[in-house]
Structure 1
Amino acid sequence: MIGFIRGSLAEKGDGYIIVDVNGVGYEIFVPANSRAYLSSEGSEVMVYTAMTVREDDVSLYGFMRKGELDAFRKLITVSGVGAKAAVSVLSAFSLEQLQQAIVFEDVKTLTKANGIGKKTAERIVLELKDKFSTEEGISASDTEESSDRGQILSDGRSEAVSALISLGYTRGEASGALASITDNDLTAEEYIKRALKNLF
């Protein structure tokens, strides 16, 4: 099992990154709001990974926070939720937003993730509510680690990425357009407007 991968960001594509580790390129599928998309090619990145193995495919999924990796593993235990659907959920919400939606049984919010219908959202809530309980919470070390490394995207940027994807842009295009915006703490609408200017 590969616990994490650290190396040079060699390439960014639609839904994936390629990390060069001593001359070997690892293709890793990441959420749309992953900070890896906002990193420039050639910079060092580290992602916590999960490997899925099927008869015809072996894939790596990467996350910037251990808590996101844990959430991914929990999501794929839900009936009808595969790895791609789990990544879609983590693309639509921050870890904290996902936990809140599940704990408060907010099915409607969960259906905002691409490919997640009402029945699937209901199963996620039913099967994971106890595992995402407020008692368990988000570990302090996970929050501190992410904050120290600056690896949590603001809600505005995250929403902007999702909105641009819904407009037909690829994840790579959306994240690339947002990467050039240096201002922080803008609203989603402001990020979208500036990103669209960069895309035209």
Structure 2
Amino acid sequence: MIAKLTGTLDSTSAGSAIIDVGGVGYLVEASARTLDALGAKGDEVTVHTELLVGEDFMRLLGFSRAEERDWFRMLTVVQGVGTKVALAILSALELNELQRALANGDHAMIARANGVGPKLAQRICNELKDKAAGLGGIAGTGPSGSMSSNAKGGSPFGDALSALSSLGFKPAEASTAVSAAAEELGDSATLDALVRLALKKAAK
């Protein structure tokens, strides 16, 4: 599984970039915010990645921060939120804005994203409100906008998601299992405890 790429930015276009890693050009789809953060052609860049594999396709998604990738995985758990919609939401909102909108049930803010209608925005808020309020470290900021203690040095939630993904679980399956484990164990849960419980829940 490709988890991260570091290379030279070859080019960017609407919705994607090509990153040259040792002479191999990787086409990486990304949110507008990630593409803006990459810099100029020729710069050395690093992106955290998510590899999507289907029967007739392989797509590599890139994120400027691991927390953005964690939010992508969380968003795609919601029915009706595919890759395109999740990237549109991450393009329209900063992570702390997204966290605040979900925690407050502000579906109008979610609906600012292209392709997100009022009904889908409401569903996203309803399904993710509690998770967003209890897992602030995913967004990298607490309610005040400062770096949360969970985000410093890496998020156990995000690391647990990565662990399940590397074991072959689909992003939606991994996120659902880890979210359930985190809710049961609480904010002080260790990575090992999260992974163990998430695996049990995923196996049910």
TM-score band (shorter)? 0.5 to 0.7
Q: Deviations over 1:8-42 (max 9, x none)?
A: 00111111000000011110011112255651111
Deviations 1:42-62 (A, max 9, x none): 110000011112222211111
Q: CA deviation at 1:97?
A: 0.4
2:29 and 2:60 in contact (8 A); partners too: yes
Matched, 1:85 2:114: no
Q: 1:17 corresponds to which residue?
A: 17
SS at match of 1:115: coil
Matched, 1:132 2:128: no
In 2 relative to 1, CA 63–123 (structure 1 residues): closer, same or farther, beyond 3 Å? same
Q: Which residue of 2 aligns with 1:34?
A: 34
Distance of 2:19 and 2:135 partners within structure 1: 36
What TM-score do the two structures reach when normalised by structure 2? Answer: 0.66
In structure 2, do the counterparts of structure 1 residues 129 and 86 end up closer, same or farther at CA, with 3 Å as the change threshold? same
RMSD: 2.0
8 Å contact from structure 1 (residues 67, 142) kept in 2: no
Runs of 4+ aligned structure 1 residues displaced above 3 Å come to: 35-38, 134-145
2:2 is the counterpart of 1:2: yes
Percent identity reads: 41
Q: Which has the higher contact order (CA 8 A, sep 6+)?
A: 1
The separation in 2 between residues aligned to 1:56 and 1:94, in whole angstroms, is: 33
Distance in 1, Cα, partners of 2:80 & 2:93: 19
Partners of 1:41 and 1:82 lie apart in 2 by 29
Please give the secondary structure, in 1, of the residue aligned with 2:96. helix
Provide the aligned length of Structure 1 versus Structure 2. 145
Note the residue ranges of structure 1 that are not aligned, 5 or more in a row. Answer: 146-200
CA–CA distance in structure 2, aligned partners of residues 50 and 74 of structure 1: 13
